[in-house]
Amino acid sequence: MLFNLYIGIDYSGSASPIDRPSNIAFYLTHLKNAPSPVFPCDFPFNNTTAKNWSRTDLARTLTNILNTKSSHRIVIGLDHGFSFPIDYFRRNLITSYPEFLSQYHTLWQQDQLDLNPDKNERRTQYKTRKQHRISHAGHPNEKRITEKRSGSAASVFDYENCQRNVAFSTHEGIPWLHQLRDNCPNLHFWPFDGFDISKTQKHVILEAYPALYKHKYKTNLKADARDANAIVKWLQEQDQNQQLATFFSPLLTKEEREIALLEGWILGVQ
């Protein structure tokens, strides 16, 4: 098996980074055990009794797990886009993934300034800023190769697509990827650090898309928990069946592979 600890996260870009929306779900399992939910109050360093995650708590917790679980090899599946379509890179003269993360993190930081301390006012104010940032990033018709290949994934620029919006999740998740990359040197960002994970024993973080496989796992869980659970179960099952490695080598031309090193790829899309 490639891994012995599996994490699946159903993300949310709603509210602000310090707020606690009810639709972030974190599931985890070891080896062949059944997945179980994890809450911020399970970790003393979060200094909270809350069961709802903030994005700030989530990043802190992942950083702690990645830097302390030395006896495990961890795979983390997050259900938001890890990057933008290639035209964004060309428009902004960006030539590498680290450069992209750094540039977008700077834009995101500007939206954190002078937020209203009132919770309701802060949420409204921050939503307006997010929409402005997304709308200026690209057009909803622009898609990455992996989104086109999936047949159903929405554009990371389409913030009006649906209530459980991948654009908000992506644009709010990418800045935390930047922080994880800075704070977790033993973490391989797939596929940006290379498609072949057999060349490293680092932990792996990747883009998941539970719509590809959640139908296999019948459950009464609510939508966000169901998706996080499905990510974990699918990663675990594919690894146990010695099939997971094949998904790290999607069928791409040389040109598509070079683009995917900037745009990213959804694990499970072939």
User: Could you read off the pLDDT of 126-155 as tens digits, one per residue?
Assistant: 888 888 888 889 998 999 999 999 988 889
Distance CA 178, CA 262 (A): 14
Q: Tell me how many domains the chain contains.
A: 1
Query: What is the helix (H) or strand (E) element at residue 245, kind and residue range?
Result: helix 244-247
CB 209 within 8 A of CB 268: yes
Contacts of 117 (CB under 8 A, 6+ apart): none
User: Which carries the bigger pLDDT value, residue 123 or residue 3?
Assistant: 3
CB atoms within 10 A of CB 161: 14
Nearest CA to 7 out of 49, 52, 69, 50 is that of 69
**Residue 146 falls inside a structural domain:** yes
CB 166 within 8 A of CB 39: no
Tabulate helix, strand, coil % of the chain (nearest 5): 45, 10, 45
Q: How far is CA 131 from CA 106, 137, 264, in A?
A: 16, 10, 23
CB 139 within 8 A of CB 156: no
> Residue 163 pLDDT more than 50?
no
- Name the burial class of residue 7, with classes exposed (0-12), middle (13-18) and buried (19+) by CB atoms within 10 angstroms of its CB: buried
pTM equals 0.94
**205-253 pLDDT, tens per residue?**
999 999 999 999 988 999 999 999 999 999 999 999 999 999 999 999 9
Domain hosting 46: range is: 5-263
CB atoms within 10 A of CB 253: 9
Both tokens of 149, joined, read 């290949």
What's the mean per-residue pLDDT of the chain?
93
Mean pLDDT over 182-204 rounds to 96
**Residue 192 falls inside a structural domain:** yes
> Residue 199 pLDDT more than 80?
yes
**Residue 99 falls inside a structural domain:** yes
**Residue 268 falls inside a structural domain:** no
- Only one residue has tokens 């939508």, namely 223
Torsion over CA: 85, 143, 260, 238 (sign) = positive
**20-64 pLDDT, tens per residue?**
999 999 999 998 899 999 999 999 999 999 999 999 999 999 999
**Residue 269 falls inside a structural domain:** no
3-class SS at 188? Answer: strand
> Residue 16 pLDDT more than 90?
no
Outline where 73-221 has alpha helix (H).
86-91, 97-111, 119-137, 145-150, 166-183
Contacts of 91 (CB under 8 A, 6+ apart): none
**Which of 28-32, 63-67, 260-264 shows the lowest mean pLDDT across its residues?**
28-32
Distance CA 224, CA 231 (A): 11
Q: Judge if the upstream peptide bond of residue 191 is cis by omega within 30 degrees of 0.
A: yes
| E strands present in the chain | 5-10, 25-30, 36-37, 74-78, 187-189, 203-207
> Residue 164 pLDDT more than 60?
no
Distance CA 182, CA 58 (A): 16
Mean pLDDT over 101-119 rounds to 86
**Residue 244 falls inside a structural domain:** yes
User: Which carries the bigger pLDDT value, residue 165 or residue 257?
Assistant: 257
Quick one: pLDDT at residue 138?
93
CB 199 within 8 A of CB 81: no
**Residue 270 falls inside a structural domain:** no
pLDDT band, very low/low/confident/very high, at 161 (cuts 50, 70, 90): low
- HSE (CB half, 13 Å, CA atoms) of 226? 13
Quick one: pLDDT at residue 252?
97
**Residue 239 falls inside a structural domain:** yes
